[in-house]
Amino acid sequence: MNDVLRNTWYVAAWSTELAPGAVLARRLLDEPVVLWRDAQGQPVALADRCPHRFAPLSMGRLQDGGASIECPYHGLRFDAQGQCAHNPHGDGSIPKAAVVRRYPVVERHNLLWLWMGDPARADVAALPDFSFLDPAEYAVGSGHMVVAGHYELETDNILDLSHIEFLHPLFASEAVRRGQVTCEQQGETVWCKRVMREDHQVPDFLRQAFNVPEGPLDRWLDVRWNAPANMALWAGGHASGADPATAFVSQQAHCFTPETATSTHYFFALAFPRAMGPMAEQLAAENVAAVKVVFEREDQPMIEAVEQRMRGHDLWSLKPVLLPGDAAAVRARRILQARIAAEAQG
Amino acid sequence: MNDVLRNTWYVAAWSTELAPGAVLARRLLDEPVVLWRDAQGQPVALADRCPHRFAPLSMGRLQDGGASIECPYHGLRFDAQGQCAHNPHGDGSIPKAAVVRRYPVVERHNLLWLWMGDPARADVAALPDFSFLDPAEYAVGSGHMVVAGHYELETDNILDLSHIEFLHPLFASEAVRRGQVTCEQQGETVWCKRVMREDHQVPDFLRQAFNVPEGPLDRWLDVRWNAPANMALWAGGHASGADPATAFVSQQAHCFTPETATSTHYFFALAFPRAMGPMAEQLAAENVAAVKVVFEREDQPMIEAVEQRMRGHDLWSLKPVLLPGDAAAVRARRILQARIAAEAQG
Amino acid sequence: MNDVLRNTWYVAAWSTELAPGAVLARRLLDEPVVLWRDAQGQPVALADRCPHRFAPLSMGRLQDGGASIECPYHGLRFDAQGQCAHNPHGDGSIPKAAVVRRYPVVERHNLLWLWMGDPARADVAALPDFSFLDPAEYAVGSGHMVVAGHYELETDNILDLSHIEFLHPLFASEAVRRGQVTCEQQGETVWCKRVMREDHQVPDFLRQAFNVPEGPLDRWLDVRWNAPANMALWAGGHASGADPATAFVSQQAHCFTPETATSTHYFFALAFPRAMGPMAEQLAAENVAAVKVVFEREDQPMIEAVEQRMRGHDLWSLKPVLLPGDAAAVRARRILQARIAAEAQG
């Protein structure tokens, strides 16, 4: 896949998707990747193609508790470094070229982060902060789906929440659209903050989930973007005029990784502090099930329809009419574009 | 879609497909088009792509009884001229570029005709005459299907009815093939006329439908073609030797519009004069149901198989062996080719 | 289809697939071919495309007991030479160009062999020897499947049986891998011979099928390859130390013909001498049913996964790591490559 940022962290999977002993095959940036856990439980990510006869290693079996994976076709074994560790044929000597590409992978905040660029430049400090997904402190409801559209269309979608009123009838309220929006950039982080004061149209499910009394609310929706397409969203509020200390906050993750040039892995989650008590788990489970239905029935068909209408053309080449709500998405696209261009120059 | 006539009328839909309040999405000449009726019931046709984020307008809702259509993604509204009439965001000002292409569309003879070329050249006088589809005077049985083949293969099919004997066992009779065929050109209209005298093999259903006595018939099949691919067919006959005033005539429409370069909308109909009494409605309904089965089971698989065998190549590049029955189809292809070439030169 | 050997015999079908009166359509080397038997029962193979309007002749009907086939669209008839023999239109004269390509086809050893190159060079003496498929002397269990992979991947698969241990759990035994392998070339025939001595891990089904006593076996697997991709396999053995005259031998055919550049017809068979008595028929039927399951569930997914991983690239361009077991397959690929190159030079 061309024209994509390499030296960055992409979400490859939820931690929970990779159980000990499991082998996970996933196409990322149009490259086949196999993931598993080694004997210490550490995640491993290799190119999912044996260098002998190009069989997918992910069709094979783990050996020695995850120390290596055995090719399902002729039995070569590759260790966590991608080095051939065993050749069952002939005198057993290991051909020099029997190596597969290893991808640096880090497990943090309930996510497996993959580095698909130069391994020497993989920098854990560059991981965006999704500490609200840490299962020790938060009950997390998470999901994964694949959408047949370019991943930047997903960025556009999350960074312009003015679409909620039109695309999501359940949440239909003018308040979000009428909210005051500010777009901020801090280094290469983009923030889109939206404040809705004296909102009378709060959906019932929000009131129930957060035990909010009748009457108008002061609400906000804050979205943080980091390249390539990882977003955190804080949806908060309190009764208008009430002490801000009484505010509720729902924390969400919306992380996108290209599967191919025209399809995208969508990793989404909602987190509730375990300090809320047993309700946190219930809220996480119920809410992620609810938003998944919305993503599948409303956002996904829209993203896929837009992808079809754009026919693979770059957004700018189609000269889109821009509205005020596009400010954050345009800024994110420009930062990403600049980083890709810088990378191309070396 | 290249190499296609632009300044001409294409059938976009049957009038009856576009009920008041309905929104119809259709791909025509490989362009997405949205159709609906305005408050006065007049048909409207716009490019089915919002200029903001390229959502299909056809996924949206009509507003004000059809005065505009609202984009389903961020709520811009477009009127019957394709002009943005409402922007719900920010201060509500309308961006200058917020316009979508409008296609001239005319409702005539039970059909919605679309002009996909220069709107200034749209000329209602150029509409071919399908007055026998006028619902006031005729009971019309109509249908629509999509065939995975180039639209000119459909022209070839209708203009050479010698295929009936071989492709349509139900109508199997040597008479059609043995009939006397003449091909005439009047301006840019092509006629293929076929006369079968003293035909003893008239199918029973024809005799029943038209109350024709036993014994040989003098029959004819006249096909009229107009660019790009709109054909009318008159199938008539009377007892051999009888007064021509006793003749029955069945009138058919076979209109084709490219969906893509390799698929075609097929609009077909049979019309019977209301002067026949209540039988007209029954004949229309029964006969269109019968021919639809034939088109789906016999013509469609053949057209699609030919498309596959030709693999996207132009007919002439494959050097077809021509038979006498091809005369009309070849003439129609040449007229169309000349018009496309003339249009390319401006 | 480019880069493929033309002047050679390809298996087009099993003899039993072409019953008298049947019409068989098959894509071979990405060309549509129609096969049937003439009045004398001799197989006929023509290009499956009428030169008039490009309809598939295979959708038509045989005439005069197979003397010709009638085009299903307009009724032209073509004889076993591909010559138009009947034109039902106009004065019935036959257009000079009304000819379709005829492919030389020979029925031998239960197989229909097709020559897709220069007919003048078709040489029956070049047919490989599959006399063990002759139904007079052998009970043959045969099958056909289509695999979505390049045909040379199938050659690689059969010529390197060291995959059996890894891909086929039912046959899991170290013996095959540990066997002594020799690769021989005789002219343009490649042999890969594998000997396993004192094998204690003989699968039960083999012992049952061949009535082999308990105890270790001396076994062998001999594979013979001929261009383009036709292989015979002899699997034999006897109790270690026993008289070689007591050996059993199972004979197999694995013949591959490109359907397209990325899919392959797989013709497979097992043969047992009728001299074995009624058991021969039973063994043939049971064993071919058993191996078909293995081919479908184990080999086919692997070949198709490898095809996907290679993405249409040539094997050598991907610089495969070679193992000792690849020797025969590499030799076969080189012979084929040399013949294709020679053919390209004329």
In a domain, C4, yes or no: no
Chain A residues with CB inside 8 Å of C166's CB?
70-75
The pLDDT of residue B205 is 66
Identify the domain containing residue B39 by its residue range: 9-127
In a domain, A87, yes or no: yes
Judged by DSSP in three states, B31 sits in strand
Chain B residues within 8 Å of chain C (Cβ atoms): 156, 160, 162-163, 165-167, 177, 301-302, 305-306, 309-310, 318-325
Residue C248's φ and ψ, nearest 5 degrees, are: -100, 150
Judge if B99 and B143 occupy the same domain: no
* pLDDT above 80 for C297: yes
In a domain, B3, yes or no: no
C-alpha span between C323 and B329 (Å, rounded): 62
* pLDDT above 70 for B172: no
Of A86, A105, A124, the one marking the end of a domain is A105
Judge if A235 and A283 occupy the same domain: yes
Give DSSP secondary structure letters for B183-234.
EEEETTEEEEEEEEEEE----HHHHHHHTPPSS-EEEEEEEEEETTTEEEEE
Judge if A139 and A98 occupy the same domain: no
Average of per-residue pLDDT values in chain B:
95
| Interface B:C, Cβ pairs < 8 A | 63
C-alpha span between C307 and C330 (Å, rounded): 18
Give the number of domains in chain C. 2
Residues in CB range of C185: below 8 A, 6 or more apart = C191, C331, C335
In a domain, A4, yes or no: no
Judge if C179 and C42 occupy the same domain: no
CA distances for A258 relative to A145, A263, B285, C169, angstroms: 12, 6, 52, 36
C-alpha span between C254 and C249 (Å, rounded): 16
Judge if B200 and B111 occupy the same domain: no
Give DSSP secondary structure letters for B299-320.
IHHHHHHHHHHHTT--TGGG-P
Interface contact flag, A302 B89, Cβ < 8 Å: no
In a domain, C1, yes or no: no
Of A88, A105, A122, the one marking the end of a domain is A105
Judge if B123 and B208 occupy the same domain: no
In a domain, C314, yes or no: yes
The pLDDT of residue B114 is 98
Residue C107's φ and ψ, nearest 5 degrees, are: -100, 120
Residues in CB range of A227: below 8 A, 6 or more apart = A5, A8, A188, A332, A335, A336, A339
C-alpha span between B262 and B147 (Å, rounded): 9
Contact present, A66 and A20 (Cβ < 8 Å): yes
Residue type, B248: F
Report pLDDT digits (tens) over B214-261.
888 899 999 999 999 999 999 999 999 899 888 888 899 999 999 999
The pLDDT of residue C62 is 98
Judge if B71 and B147 occupy the same domain: no
- Which of C267, C200, C193, C268 lies closest to C236, judged by CA? C193
Question: What order of strands is seen across the sheet that includes strand C24-28?
Answer: C24-28, C31-37, C43-47
The pLDDT of residue A95 is 97
C-alpha span between A68 and A60 (Å, rounded): 10
Mean pLDDT of C98-115: 98
Judge if C170 and C254 occupy the same domain: yes
**Smallest CA–CA distance from B54 into chain A, residue:** A306
Mean pLDDT of C157-182: 88
Mean pLDDT of C337-341: 97
Interface contact flag, B74 A166, Cβ < 8 Å: yes
pLDDT beneath 70: ranges in chain A? 172, 205
To which H or E segment does residue A199 belong? strand A189-199
In a domain, A114, yes or no: no
Judge if A148 and A292 occupy the same domain: yes
* pLDDT above 70 for C146: yes
Chain C residues with CB inside 8 Å of B309's CB?
32, 48-49, 54-56
Percent of chain A with pLDDT over 90: 83
The CATH number covering residue A87 comes to 2.102.10.10
- Which of A67, A9, A78 lies closest to A37, judged by CA? A67
C-alpha span between B30 and B14 (Å, rounded): 19
Interface contact flag, A324 B70, Cβ < 8 Å: no
Judge if C82 and C198 occupy the same domain: no
Report pLDDT digits (tens) over C212-222.
778 888 999 99
C-alpha span between B308 and B300 (Å, rounded): 12
Judge if C206 and C290 occupy the same domain: yes
Judge if C324 and C226 occupy the same domain: yes
* pLDDT above 70 for B28: yes
In a domain, C159, yes or no: yes
The CATH number covering residue A168 comes to 3.90.380.10
Report pLDDT digits (tens) over A146-190.
999 999 999 999 999 999 999 998 776 788 888 899 999 999 999
pTM for this one? Answer: 0.95
Of C127, C150, C174, the one marking the end of a domain is C127
Q: How far is B136 from chain C (nearest CA, A)?
A: 38
Mean pLDDT of B124-145: 97
